[in-house]
Amino acid sequence: MLDLFTGSASDCSGVSRRAFVRVGGLAAFGLGLPQFLQARAKEPAAPAKAKKCILLWMQGGPSHIDTFDPKPDAPAEIRGEFGTVATTLPGVRFADVSPMLAKRTDKLAIIRGHDPKNGSHGVADHLMMSGHKFNASLPFPCFGSVVAKERGYVDGMLPFVQLGKAIDRRFNGGIAGFLGDQFNPFEVPDDPSAPRFTVRDLAVQTNAERVRLERRYSMLADLENYQKQVEAPGVVKARDEFYEKAHGIITGPAAKKAFDLTQESDRTRELYGKNSLGQSCLLARRLVDAGVQFVTVTDGGWDTHTNNFKSLKDRLMPRVDRALSALIDDLAARGQLDETLVVWFGDFGRTPKVNPTAGRDHWSTAGVALFAGGGLKVGQVIGRTNALAEVVTDTPVSPQDIAATIYRTLGVNLHTWYKAQDGRPIELCPEGKPVKELF
């Protein structure tokens, strides 16, 4: 069956809640709503090189100090257990668990001025993936859903795919929100590094399997017919169109080929890493090759309240170091890096001071994010934190600014207006400003 908007995750909060997002207000200053929306719609989007985006979401919150913003001169209880390694940028050092990425900083923009403005799981998945705060209103769409709506289907492929299930849905993180279910991601929850990895509904090889798929689709159609009697006609019509397209795509040869990692050489698969993150990054590259507009790659386990250094050294950072390096190299070798935006971040930063269980806790005033490709100005560090990595002291970059940067890079007008299902107008990105140093 199609996994379109399911998903859950557990973290240290252990709380299950649901919340909604802020709805942008109008500031038309006497201009009528129709004229205001029309004027906004005519504003041209910024020229964009990037046609696709791969977002690497590290659920739980990576430690900025122990990755890309180390503080080697800080006291031991701040500095932590890692040493540092020189990068290709003069005077810039990474934690020594990132030796491969340290050699590729000419292709990276390191956002050390990232200010998460939040230290709570669940809220983070929504805020960081939409650029909107919460309010008791409609859930806001994530980046991939907006791109799916704006770009649509290209080359007969699904517009938005999520790999892995490490996204917290309690606060509507990673979904289409008020845009409607038809713009939710096609989810692939299984581990692509598994020996028998298949994508459900794409691995239809026998006539019996195809009959079962058609039966499920027929049952879904019957359910939709019933819902037409109880739901708003527009909602059902949009959902019907989505299922029609999705059904056609998953039963066709293009998607099956795109998801088939066995077509990659053993050497290439090894370069990315024979683990879930590495193979997800390789799969993401194959998907954007095939016409998918936005791919979210998820990785869990970053909520390191205990054994922070062991977790980062033994599992988390070696996977990121290898997979992200391979992805950047691969896209560059194919001549696709300029047209593919690659972004890496997580929930928030982690406490500067190491706790008694060798962990770091949630930290809302400092973090780190990486940008690559997309025609951006890379080979630079943007912003800085103070000597103890507590607060941003130069060039702060908020979640709203990250959102604005992603949209501008992809050529999506920040002042696009949508209508929620109740008819109210909502502006896409009213608060964020693109990080000017990147353009």
Give the pLDDT confidence of 196-243 residue by residue, as tens digits.
Answer: 998 876 654 556 555 554 554 455 455 445 444 555 555 555 555 666
Share of the chain above pLDDT 70, in %: 77
Q: What is the pLDDT of residue 40?
A: 47
Average pLDDT over residues 10-15: 57
Long-range contacts from 311-318, C-beta under 8 angstroms, 24+ separation: 312/63, 312/66, 312/67, 312/82, 312/97, 313/82, 313/97, 316/58, 316/62, 317/66, 317/67, 317/95, 317/97, 317/98, 318/97, 318/273
In-domain check, residue 26: no
* Domain containing residue 423: 33-204+251-438
In-domain check, residue 287: yes
Q: Are strands 340-346 and 52-58 parallel, antiparallel or unpaired?
A: parallel
Give the pLDDT confidence of 156-169 residue by residue, as tens digits.
Answer: 899 999 999 999 99
Q: Which residues contact 318 (CB under 8 A, 6 or more apart)?
A: 97, 273
Q: What is the pLDDT of residue 205?
A: 52
- Quick one: 263 exposed, middle or buried, by C-beta within 10 A (0-12, 13-18, 19+)? exposed
Q: What is the pLDDT of residue 198?
A: 87
Share of the chain above pLDDT 90, in %: 72
Give the pLDDT confidence of 371-380 residue by residue, as tens digits.
Answer: 999 999 999 9
In-domain check, residue 18: no
User: Phi and psi at residue 339, in whole multiples of 5°?
Assistant: -100, 5
**In this predicted structure, which of 81-95, 131-145, 425-439 has the lowest mean pLDDT?**
131-145
Give the CATH number, domain containing residue 261.
3.40.720
In-domain check, residue 234: no
In-domain check, residue 308: yes
- Mapped to the 3 state alphabet, what secondary structure does 122-169 carry? CHHHHHHHHCCCECCCCCCCCHHHHHHHHHCCECCECCEEEECCCCCC
**Is the pLDDT at 106 greater than 90, yes or no?**
yes
> What's the structural domain count of the chain?
1
CB 363, CB 352: distance < 8 Å = yes
Q: Which two tokens stand for residue 284?
A: 């993401």
**Is the pLDDT at 42 greater than 50, yes or no?**
no
Q: Which two tokens stand for residue 268?
A: 């290439």
**Is the pLDDT at 396 greater than 70, yes or no?**
yes
Q: What is the pLDDT of residue 429?
A: 97
Terminal CA-CA length for the chain: 42
Average pLDDT over residues 98-117: 98
- Compute, in degrees rounded to 10, the torsion defined by CA atoms 158, 188, 165, 61: -60
- Compute, in degrees rounded to 10, the torsion defined by CA atoms 190, 196, 197, 200: -80
User: Greater confidence, 349 or 40?
Assistant: 349
Average pLDDT over residues 287-293: 96
- Compute, in degrees rounded to 10, the torsion defined by CA atoms 122, 127, 128, 132: 170
Q: What is the pLDDT of residue 136?
A: 59
In-domain check, residue 101: yes
Q: What is the pLDDT of residue 323?
A: 98
Give the pLDDT confidence of 169-187 residue by residue, as tens digits.
Answer: 999 999 999 999 999 999 9
In-domain check, residue 4: no
- Average pLDDT of the chain? 86
Q: Which two tokens stand for residue 219?
A: 């049952």
Q: Report the alpha-carbon distance of residue 243 to residue 360 in Å, rounded.
A: 44
In-domain check, residue 327: yes
User: Greater confidence, 200 or 40?
Assistant: 200
Average pLDDT over residues 136-162: 92
Q: Which two tokens stand for residue 235?
A: 């909602």
Q: Report the alpha-carbon distance of residue 6 to residue 200 in Å, rounded.
A: 15
pLDDT band (50, 70, 90) for residue 20: very low
User: Greater confidence, 295 or 20?
Assistant: 295
Q: Report the alpha-carbon distance of residue 327 to residue 291 in Å, rounded.
A: 17
Nearest to 89 by CA among 72, 68, 66: 68
**Is the pLDDT at 294 greater than 70, yes or no?**
yes
Which pTM was predicted? 0.85
- Compute, in degrees rounded to 10, the torsion defined by CA atoms 229, 230, 235, 239: -70
Q: What is the pLDDT of residue 233?
A: 53
**Is the pLDDT at 390 greater than 50, yes or no?**
yes
Give the pLDDT confidence of 233-287 residue by residue, as tens digits.
Answer: 555 555 556 666 666 676 678 888 999 999 999 999 999 999 999 999 999 999 9
pLDDT band (50, 70, 90) for residue 1: very low
**Is the pLDDT at 7 greater than 50, yes or no?**
no
